[in-house]
């Protein structure tokens, strides 16, 4: 039986939260995580850093984390932000879908993008196209498209 996806505000699976924290800790230590935490507003901080995370977390909390990281350890630098983003992706989607990613061709992964997106997010459409050895993704109708940090991701 498939888990029920929450209705209402846009959400993502909780493992992205753990990956975001772990990636920050790997790059900037516990001091970096504490700095990010201190920059977040209370409601999002409480949701993002709860002892027991629910299955789904609001995108609002993830965006708050990203802004706090951008202002804190990343020091508003893409050079510092992108390594965290890559590591967070490896520790989240990459870890969860490791078997699929190791067995599927790049074309299959790209063609499955929207289906994979919908397994982990309650909002947005991830359009993908393959052109030879290149692929292109376009995210629509999602809060990540509304900020430079989100679009960079």
pLDDT tens-digit profile of 137-151? 899 999 999 988 778
Looking at residue 6, its pLDDT comes to 64
13 token code pair:
């699976």
- CB < 8 Å & 24+ apart, contacts of 21-28: 21/49, 22/88, 22/91, 23/84, 23/87, 23/88, 23/91, 24/69, 24/73, 24/84, 26/87, 27/73, 27/83, 27/84, 27/87, 28/73
Looking at residue 133, its pLDDT comes to 78
Q: Which residue do the tokens 């995210």 mark?
A: 139
Determine what percent of the chain is predicted with pLDDT higher than 90: 61
Is the confidence at residue 97, as pLDDT, over 80? no
CA distance 153 to 147: 10
Q: Which residue do the tokens 């890559």 mark?
A: 86
107 token code pair:
């074309």
Per-residue pLDDT band for 122 (boundaries 50, 70, 90) equals very high
What DSSP state is assigned to residue 132? T
The three-state secondary structure class of 1 is coil
**Mean residue pLDDT across the chain:** 89
Looking at residue 130, its pLDDT comes to 87
pTM assigned to the model: 0.85
């Amino acid at each position: 039986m498939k888990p029920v996806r929450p209705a209402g505000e846009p959400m993502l699976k909780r493992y992205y939260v753990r990956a975001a924290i772990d990636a920050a800790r790997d790059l900037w230590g516990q001091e970096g995580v504490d700095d990010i935490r201190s920059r977040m507003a209370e409601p999002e901080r409480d949701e993002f850093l709860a002892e027991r995370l629910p299955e789904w977390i609001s995108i609002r909390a993830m965006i708050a984390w990203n802004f706090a990281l951008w202002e804190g350890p990343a020091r508003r630098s893409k050079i510092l932000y992108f390594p965290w983003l890559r590591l967070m992706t490896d520790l989240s989607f990459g870890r969860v879908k490791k078997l699929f990613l190791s067995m599927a061709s790049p074309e299959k992964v790209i063609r499955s993008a929207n289906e994979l997106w919908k397994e982990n997010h309650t909002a947005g459409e991830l359009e993908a196209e393959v052109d030879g050895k290149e692929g292109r993704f376009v995210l629509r109708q999602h809060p990540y498209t509304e900020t430079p940090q989100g679009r960079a991701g």
